[in-house]
């Protein structure tokens, strides 16, 4: 009987000791994470770096001199941090020039001539010097367009006017439901004989900022000029059409595509002390549309990625695995930067174990995401108490356009992500309003610290 009691006592004691040890370990990790957040929240370094990037390389769409300046700035920035390695990864990117300032106006016998804010869609063909004028056919869905006869569309300008749905709490859902107008609308209208396209800007707000973005053509369909008009102008044009169906729309663009030109991804890394050949990538895309400073899309994501390395350095953390910050080029157009990064990784025989992309703006972080299996997600949940003080959830999800190609080469790679508050994002996305002044330093730094904390835990404990 005494032996049985002794065994029970020993088992209970071991359980208690294990529990105390686990709590002690979690307390130690909480201290490290608190140190990371304290450094982030008291530092202005990343914020000033973002300001320089926005104010000195605005309009850094791939192939432009501003993009080359951004490459050099981020290369020098990481060199000054005395990382273990900093290098440029060559890629060839498409080039395109917007040309002269766009002109667009409604021409109506009932309402007169009204100028409207506009911008050419990325990689649209231009109208040429005389401009383009025609009657307008308004549609609010692809099915509505396809229901039109050729006689209704031929020789006209198609006006795509499906608003982003205001009642969706997740604005990325609203964007996903409507962005087809910009990406595919011009080619679908061209199939039916339209001579031009006017697109309602992909914005959650009603304002006077037109939003650009890539449009795609098809080899077997003659490309037609395409512009976006502000949401306020779209509302006005739609209202006017109900009264004057014979009104004309005029626009003039001189944009022109050019040849492929050289550019670079910018890469900096801290080599792992135990597993230097196993790589964790953190990145954002350096290119931004030519009408914008690109503070939230995605200058902030790039600066956050560099800041993660700085925060690890400041906390005295020497990672076990190699941690890389990558400034991807060409996400907005053809994602050649992400594709080249994955291609070269495979060619070099590198082992990539995790990748995180910050490309949803740098607002207050709501969640960090991981695309893990059930066992990994269970372990991730054990880390949640460490993030509770910062009101950041750990949930399923992750990935992005630039880290996605890695998944094809490394099926077991852990894709991660960050989800900031998103209610303001599509007010600024691809518009001239996406400026440095729209970024709150503390929100951006909270996101950087959250990423750094997740990377620290994954590097040390794995999933």
Q: Dump pLDDT digits (tens) for 276-316.
A: 999 999 999 999 999 999 999 999 999 999 999 999 999 99
Q: Where in the chain is the domain with CATH 3.50.30.30?
A: 100-258
Please check the confidence at residue 196 and state whether its pLDDT lies above 90: yes
Please check the confidence at residue 417 and state whether its pLDDT lies above 80: yes
Note the pLDDT of residue 26. 78
- Phi-psi category of 302—alpha, beta or left, where left has phi over 0 and alpha has psi -120 to 50? alpha
Please state, in angstroms and rounded to a whole number, the distance separating the CA atoms of residues 442 and 63: 33
Note the pLDDT of residue 17. 46
Residue 184: pLDDT band (50, 70, 90) is: very high
Q: How many CA atoms lie within 13 A of 223 on its CB side?
A: 19
pTM: 0.93
Please state, in angstroms and rounded to a whole number, the distance separating the CA atoms of residues 186 and 169: 29
- Mean pLDDT within 115-133: 97
Kindly report the CATH class assigned to 100-258: alpha beta
DSSP category for residue 431: B
146 contact partners, CB below 8 Å, separation of at least 6 = 188
Q: How far is CA 255 from CA 135, 229, 268, in A?
A: 22, 16, 35
- Phi-psi category of 443—alpha, beta or left, where left has phi over 0 and alpha has psi -120 to 50? alpha
CATH of domain 33-92+260-461: 3.40.630.10
Q: Where in the chain is the domain with CATH 3.40.630.10?
A: 33-92+260-461
Q: Dump pLDDT digits (tens) for 206-234.
A: 999 999 999 999 999 999 999 999 999 99
Please state, in angstroms and rounded to a whole number, the distance separating the CA atoms of residues 279 and 415: 12
Please check the confidence at residue 112 and state whether its pLDDT lies above 60: yes
Strand-pair partners of 420: 365
Q: How many CA atoms lie within 13 A of 236 on its CB side?
A: 20
Q: How many CA atoms lie within 13 A of 220 on its CB side?
A: 0
């Amino acid at each position: 009987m005494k032996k049985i009691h002794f065994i029970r006592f020993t088992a209970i004691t071991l359980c208690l000791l294990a529990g105390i040890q686990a709590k002690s370990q979690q307390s130690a990790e909480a201290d490290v994470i608190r140190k990371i957040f304290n450094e982030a929240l008291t530092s202005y370094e990343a914020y000033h770096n973002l300001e320089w990037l926005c104010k000195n390389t605005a309009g850094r769409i791939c192939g432009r001199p501003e993009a080359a300046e951004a490459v050099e700035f981020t290369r020098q920035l990481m060199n000054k941090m005395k990382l273990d390695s900093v290098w440029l990864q060559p890629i060839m990117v498409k080039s395109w020039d917007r040309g002269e300032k766009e002109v667009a106006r409604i021409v109506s016998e009932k309402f007169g001539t009204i100028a409207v804010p506009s911008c050419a869609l990325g990689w649209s063909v231009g109208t040429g010097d005389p401009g383009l004028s025609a009657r307008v056919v308004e549609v609010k869905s692809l099915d509505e367009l396809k229901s039109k006869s050729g006689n209704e569309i031929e020789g006209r300008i198609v006006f795509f006017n499906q608003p982003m749905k205001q009642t969706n709490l997740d604005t990325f859902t609203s964007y996903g439901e409507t962005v087809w107008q910009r990406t595919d609308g011009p080619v679908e209208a061209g199939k039916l004989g339209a001579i031009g396209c006017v697109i309602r800007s992909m914005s959650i707000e009603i304002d006077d900022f037109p939003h650009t973005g890539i449009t795609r053509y098809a080899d077997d369909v003659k490309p037609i000029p395409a512009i976006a008009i502000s949401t306020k102008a779209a509302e006005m044009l739609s209202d006017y059409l109900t009264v004057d169906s014979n009104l004309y729309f005029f626009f003039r663009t001189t944009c022109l595509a050019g040849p492929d030109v050289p550019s670079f991804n910018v890469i900096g890394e801290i080599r792992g002390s135990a597993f230097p050949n196993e790589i964790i990538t953190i990145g954002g895309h350096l290119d931004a549309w030519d009408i914008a400073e690109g503070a939230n899309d995605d200058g902030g994501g790039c600066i956050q990625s560099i800041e993660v390395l700085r925060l690890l350095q400041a906390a005295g953390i020497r990672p076990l695995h190699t941690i890389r910050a990558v400034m991807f080029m060409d996400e907005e157009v053809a994602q050649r930067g992400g594709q080249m990064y994955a291609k070269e990784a495979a060619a070099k025989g590198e082992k990539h174990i995790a990748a995180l992309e910050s490309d949803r703006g740098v607002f207050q972080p709501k969640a960090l995401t991981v695309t893990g299996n059930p066992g990994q997600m269970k372990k991730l949940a054990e880390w949640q108490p460490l993030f509770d003080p910062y009101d950041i959830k750990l949930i399923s999800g992750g990935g992005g356009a630039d880290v996605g190609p890695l998944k094809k080469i490394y099926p077991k790679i852990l894709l991660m992500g960050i989800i900031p508050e998103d209610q303001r994002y599509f007010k600024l996305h691809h518009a001239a309003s996406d400026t440095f002044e729209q970024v709150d330093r503390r929100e951006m730094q909270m996101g950087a610290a959250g990423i750094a904390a997740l990377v620290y835990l994954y590097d040390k404990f794995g999933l």
